[in-house]
A and B are shown apart, each in its own frame.
Chain A
Amino acid sequence: GENVEQHPSTLSVQEGDSAVIKCTYSDSASNYFPWYKQELGKRPQLIIDIRSNVGEKKDQRIAVTLNKTAKHFSLHITETQPEDSAVYFCAAKGGYNKLIFGAGTRLAVHP
């Protein structure tokens, strides 16, 4: 079945360092990969996404890379700030646009 694995489950960095979160998907037909940031008790917010015809996409301090052959995609956050602390979810689009989410990565950025 459709599955998305996400690593690591927790990540602790110092302010200013970079953070990388990696995901692997199983459905080779997936062609859309969004990343959501969720603060405690709040809704998931779309922060960046990438489609399968693109290998990399960048938005200020956030970038996402996609390796379709290996079925891997990653989120890169540079110059991390305390307000980046949250749970980050990757997802892969399954049939009919349903999103299959990874288990989440709890990122803590320490001042």
Chain B
Amino acid sequence: DSGVTQTPKHLITATGQRVTLRCSPRSGDLSVYWYQQSLDQGLQFLIQYYNGEERAKGNILERFSAQQFPDLHSELNLSSLELGDSALYFCASSVNVYNEQFFGPGTRLTVL
């Protein structure tokens, strides 16, 4: 157990819908990262927050947005869902922007 928690574990929804994925970082970690892993694919960096502020963006679609709250938990919002958005979404956290990242268990999103 890495100490990073993610909810829900599984999510099944329909095309066109909107969902919110939640991540709580390890105690003491200020930085949160979101990654997408499609079937048989590698891990694609989406976005990073540090102490509430967005720090870096990867290949994140405009339909996707995220935020980090004052208590440091983060939410990833996915809207106008398409079949191709089906994937595992991982959150990771680190103490700061220099330290190793620890991954949460992931949320498996299935869009039907």
Q: How many A-B residue pairs have CB under 8 A?
A: 61
Restricting to B21-38, which residues have a CB under 8 Å from any CB of A? 31, 33
Indicate if the CB atoms of B100 and A98 lie closer than 8 Å: no
Given known pairs A95-B56, A98-B58, the reply for A46 and B42 (CB within 8 Å) is no
B48 touches A102 (CB 8 A): no
CB within 8 Å of A: which B1-38 residues: 2, 31, 33
Q: How many residues of B contact A (CB 8 A)?
A: 27
Among the stretches A14-22, A37-45, A54-62, A70-78, the one at the interface with B is A37-45
* A99 CB–B CB distance under 8 Å: yes
Known: A97-B31, A100-B45. A44 touches B97 (CB 8 A): no
Q: Which A positions have Cβ atoms within 8 angstroms of B?
A: 32, 34, 36, 41-46, 49, 89, 91, 94-104
22 A-B residue pairs with CB within 8 Å: A34-B100, A36-B103, A43-B90, A43-B105, A44-B43, A45-B103, A46-B100, A46-B101, A46-B102, A49-B100, A89-B42, A94-B56, A95-B56, A96-B50, A96-B56, A97-B33, A97-B96, A97-B99, A99-B43, A101-B43, A101-B44, A102-B42
Known: A32-B98, A44-B103. 17 other contacts (CB 8 A): A41-B108, A43-B2, A43-B90, A44-B90, A45-B2, A46-B101, A91-B43, A96-B50, A96-B55, A97-B33, A97-B99, A97-B101, A98-B33, A98-B45, A98-B56, A101-B42, A101-B44
